[in-house]
Amino acid sequence: MGAAARAVEAATADTCLPYSARGNAGRFDQSTFGGRFARMLLACDPALLRHTEDSVRATLQSLLKAEDDLALTTTTTTPALTPSESRKLWEAKRIVDSAIHPDTGEVIPRPFRMSGFVPYNGPICVSMVASTSTIPLLFWSWINQSQNALVNYYNRNASSPMTNETLLKSYSAAVGSALVVAFGLSTLVQKRYAPEQAKQMMKFVAFPSAVVASSLNCYVVRSPEIDTGIPLTDATGNLLAMSGEDENTSSIAAKRGVESTTLSRAILQAPVYFLPSLLMGVVPPLKTFVANRPTMRVPLTTFLVLVSFGLGLPATIAIFPQVSELKASEAEPKFQHLLDPATKRPYEVFYYNKGL
């Protein structure tokens, strides 16, 4: 995955968009899947884990100073940033965004960052895929959902409050569902098939249990956002100015954000569980390699699972834009006739951060 991130860096060295700290600007065009995939591939790069909390904080201060200096130059004749200068600022922002939550300003623990998802969760997925009996499958399902619950918690839209009770509820629901599905399917397989055939089929039991548990995990952790709503912004990222007692939070936007994130978590399981087996069974060189060297099946499966996970994670997150649109006509009534201070006309589109 680090190699893929470096390939993206090299390929876009001279073509990235000019750096901007305003609104929803990004290094890549976020209106396309390719742009979102490139952004998430760099965001999920495990190499980001090497930065300590002190170095991340120092990078943040340097970035803020650079943004202040850049804001001052907008009223002068100072030339625009060169591609090289823009790239350095985008890289600084990538380091900061990988470790600091945008809503709370707190540093996210390494195991629960997007950049840490593959190195920390990848081995767990390998262990689940390799489980051929009930007890190991239940154990690794528990470990997997424990980590997933905390990843969802630390990467949520934190503008909505989250209580310890909700976190415990999510954890219990996700782990409970994973264990029930895994135990039920493994018991069914072992009762209906001969021992050797059942052992081969056990590898497929982890997939449905992971889909159900990961989806439920994400939905329950993020569900408080639907009740409280999440903030809407204009095209430049400014929070909407509401009159009276109305709040600029939308439950409709929150529901869409939670549902799209939950769907991406479910889709992620497919390449992790099916692609390695498919490649080894269909691609002639891999098929021949495994047939001639049976002892290499486990190392090769491990490698392919990690690669599938490393590329599947940014790909599934990139299906939906992180900063998504909500038409004014589809928002709550309080937003539908809200005037844009700049144009003195009603807004047509609002924006919201769906979270990761």
Residues 307-320 pLDDT 10s: 887 788 888 888 88
Return the pLDDT at 341: 79
User: Token digits for 287?
Assistant: 């098929």
Contact 240, 233 (CB under 8 A): yes
Local structure of 248: helix, strand or coil: coil
| Rg, C-alpha atoms of the chain | 23
Return the pLDDT at 291: 79
Return the pLDDT at 171: 74
Return the pLDDT at 158: 67
CB atoms within 10 A of CB 72: 10
Return the pLDDT at 77: 47
User: Token digits for 121?
Assistant: 């969760």
CB atoms within 10 A of CB 48: 22
Residues in the chain, pLDDT under 70: 1-16, 21-25, 71-80, 129, 132, 157-162, 174, 199-200, 202-206, 242-246
Report pLDDT digits (tens) over 19-72: 776 655 677 777 888 888 888 888 888 889 999 889 999 998 888 888 777 766
Return the pLDDT at 161: 63
Return the pLDDT at 73: 64
